[in-house]
Structure 1
């Protein structure tokens, strides 16, 4: 029996996103995100109930402002006191772990999926999922983009609009496209 596309995705192998099971899971996430984004703020609280149930882990006091978008949700793990500002997008085809006290500015984007480099592969929906890890007490500036396979160390700062294509050491500030270190504290 062939391995499922979901199992290939979880194993970090090439898989096709044009799969019925994955489409169903994205639909479940879309419903939870819709609820979160449309509930009145006082009813929603820090997280809409459907989104809280969907996420892989939610620490105490973690908050996601609306509007928010994610691909699957179950691959997202938020530490205590994590804050995601309005407009954040997490395409969580792989694990996304955000450490306690970390702040994401508005419109931060995290992309775990890497599409195939060959046009025929892209047309077939081939992707590979690469995880993202952000350490505790990091600050990700508004509009930053973090690509899959990246680790951002504890206390690091990613400047607004930066495109992070490789690991960022702890207590380091990076800016630009591609992001490069400008300061280490």
Structure 2
């Protein structure tokens, strides 16, 4: 029998898969805050959430760290990394909006995709050219000093770096928050520390 937590929409078994710690890595001068290294359980959970359209899962990704996020990024505005309109319509919800629903930091929608680009099917070199697929509406950045870029997964850092490149000339500071990062991004950081 599955026991459900009182204030969450997720079973205890799924909750245990999410033993999270606050961590940070730097990708080309962009601080990327994350909670867990991508693994098989996280892959299953993200698949269930995004592809099987289990919207209730979205509420648990940042749930245990909402207080920390609000304190750490007080005075920031959140910008979601863009998803294609087709994916949002197919899913029936914007996966990042649901993930950040309980985070009471102002969100601004200024990034969009020019065309449909599925990163998971691209080579590392092509992912690095993702910048040309993004558009920005800078009018909403007036009177904004600090931006927090939010995404679910950081595989190569290409999308985050593209967004960082577009946003940084218009604000004082840009950092990123993702739920999970690819293990290959962590290893070079560990080697530098040793």
Shared fold, TM over 0.5: no
Normalised by the shorter chain, which TM-score bucket? under 0.3
Q: TM-score, normalised by structure 1?
A: 0.27
Structure with the bigger RCO (C-alpha within 8 Å, sep 6+) is: 2
Return the structure number with greater strand share.
1
Q: TM-score, normalised by structure 2?
A: 0.26
